[in-house]
Structure formats: structure tokens, C-alpha cells
Structure 1
């Protein structure tokens, strides 16, 4: 099942939108020309992680200042500061297995769609 999350080119690079789909909130993020969709639940304490700020090397996080070369690709959870790579969903702390739950995204001339029923594979 595909759910329309945005119009084509509605989000600029570094942009995000949180959409409600089947009683779930999913964050849609655009990094350069790629889109990523993550469930709006932090694996640490179930916080609304997608409501956090997007940072990277240009804006040091103050928590895990070691993510070099990831400008505008680091999502910081608003509750406890856990940071995640927006491309892979992985928590940035060394040795951590924590990861955001993702969904595939499809783009065509009619819009940007989140595909449900098939979790994003790493």
C-alpha cells in the first residue's frame, strides 16, 4: 500500500514533514535528492524522534560531536539527545545496535509516497 506524503519537490533538501498514516506518525526527510521515511518513535524511550532537529558537522550537536561529513544528515531526538543517521537510521553511538524503523519511499510525477507493509531493509 502506498500513501502520498508530499507533492513532487515540495520538500527542499534538508526538509522534513511528519505525516499520520494508519494511526502512526512517520517522518519524511529529504537529503539532497533522496527521501527517507522513519517511524516517529525513538527506540530509546519512544519519544517523537522525527520532531527533533536535523544537524551535522555545520551545527555541532553537543552530545556526540564526532559525525564528520554528515551535514544536515543527523537527527537528534528531542527528549534525550540520541542522534541518528537519517540515511541509514542507525544510532551514532559506537557499538549501539539501536536503529529507527524505516519504510521505503517511492517518487513519481504525482508525488512522494511511503510504502507500507514492507519495512525498509538495511
Structure 2
């Protein structure tokens, strides 16, 4: 399996991402909280360019005593990527959709060697 360069570790600040062409596939490489993650750039819903979507904390909708949602909050421990086509959310760390664990992104192998990042797709 071929390895493709995704740049140097020092090129990525926290919260950065880069979409890398790996042969005929695209892979998104993310640095979140000092850790690197790599996902194929195809949404599990309709194959949209998920890795080019918005990054944000997981959205929560707390329910009050009457069973009503009055506001939204954010889970500061969970970073999500939101597909720009239809708004499907996925965990950057696990690739899973928060509402259906069977729906997930396809992981790409990520290698950090001598300060360089490589992906295998």
C-alpha cells in the first residue's frame, strides 16, 4: 500500500486540517487537542466531502423538566466535523455519527515518522 505525504507535524496547529490526494482517494488529516486523525473524505450518508466541512464542538440540546428543549449547549470534550452537503455530524476521534453508531466515516491509516505525517488509503 502506498504512503502519501500530508506534511510536517509542525505545519499543523491545533484545530488544523488538510485534505490530501492519495491516488484516486482524498483523505482529511486533522490535528485536534494535539492528536492526529485521518478519515476518507466521503460522508457515510451520501458521499459528500465531509472533511471539508465545519469543525465544531458536539451540539447538545438539554431537555428541561417539562420535556422541552429551550437552548443548545456544546460538549467541550467532543469535536465534530459536519458534512457540508446535508449536515451529518461525525466525531473526529471515532468517526461515528452521534445518533447512529452504525453510521461512521472510513478511517485512513496515519503514520508519523521523523516529524513527517503520511497516510495510507
Structure 1 and Structure 2 fold alike (TM over 0.5): yes
The size of the alignment, in residue pairs, is 110
Q: Secondary structure at the match of 1:50?
A: helix
Q: Secondary structure at the match of 2:29?
A: strand
Q: Name the structure 1 match of 2:66.
A: none
Q: Secondary structure at the match of 2:103?
A: coil
RMSD between superposed Cα atoms in Å: 2.1
Structure 1 residues 13-40: Cα deviation after superposition (integer angstroms, max 9, x where no partner): 1100001111111100011221111000
Which structure is larger by alpha-carbon Rg, 1 or 2? Answer: 2
Q: Name the structure 1 match of 2:98.
A: 92
Alpha-carbon contact 2:22-2:120 (below 8 Å) kept? no
TM-score relative to the length of structure 1: 0.79
Give the drift of 1:42.
Answer: 0.4
TM-score relative to the length of structure 2: 0.80
* 4+ residue segments displaced more than 3 Å: none
Q: Name the structure 2 match of 1:79.
A: 85
Alpha-carbon contact 2:54-2:81 (below 8 Å) kept? yes
Give the drift of 1:56.
Answer: 0.4
Question: Do structure 1's residue 7 and structure 2's residue 11 form an aligned pair?
Answer: no
Q: Name the structure 1 match of 2:113.
A: 108
